[in-house]
Amino acid sequence: MLHEQVQSEMINLTPAAAEAVRGLLVKRNLEAQEYALRVFIAGGGCSGYQYGMALEANIRPEDLVAEFDGVRVVVDEVSINYLHGASVDYVESVMGSGFKIENPNAISSCGCGSSFRTKDSEASGGGCSSCG
């Protein structure tokens, strides 16, 4: 793809996250050539926006696509405005394991790490009471 180099600077997938995605693809019997990790944002969450991820085969022409260690990552044209420069990692700790997004655009985030606010989003009371 023509935009691959530029897009890989827009979002990053760590080697640990790429390995975790490959493991999920194998576990679910999905072909890596057909599926990609879609990373997106949606309204909601206790801080205003929330992160989402899904394994998806439907790659739209307007999606931004980058590849990391054999794993394709796709981001829609709206979400990339909020995820520019973000890094997706996979962490394992005593408290559990899972994907974690480090987002330089977030000025505040919820204690659970799945909800965030940007400087352009309206300040809302929110708080973390809704994070389980």
The tens digit of pLDDT for each residue in 72-100 reads 999 999 999 889 999 999 999 888 889 99
73 is a domain residue: yes
Residue 47 domain-assigned?
yes
125 within domain boundaries: no
Return the closest-CA partner of residue 21 out of 50, 53, 52.
53
The whole-number pLDDT of residue 80 equals 92
Residue 54 has a pLDDT of: 96
**Residue 124: predicted pLDDT:** 45
What average pLDDT does the segment 30-55 reach? 86
Percent of the chain with pLDDT over 70: 71
pLDDT band at 53 (very low <50, low <70, confident <90, very high): very high
Assess if residue 130 is contained within a domain. Answer: no
User: Which residues, 6 or more positions from 82, have their beta carbon under 8 angstroms from its beta carbon?
Assistant: 41, 49, 103, 105, 118
Q: Per-residue pLDDT for 69 more than 60? A: yes
At residue 37, does pLDDT exceed 70?
A: yes
Half-sphere exposure in the Cβ direction for 113 (13 Å, CA): 10
Range of the structural domain that residue 34 is part of: 4-118
24 in a structural domain:
yes
Residues 14, 73 contacting (CB under 8 angstroms): no
Domain count, the chain: 1
Q: Is residue 105 part of a domain?
A: yes
Q: Is residue 132 in a domain?
A: no
What CATH number does residue 103 fall under? 2.60.300.12
Extract the tokens encoding 93.
Answer: 């700790």
Residue given tokens 């490959």 in the structure block: 22
- What pTM does this model have? 0.76
Q: Is residue 91 part of a domain?
A: yes
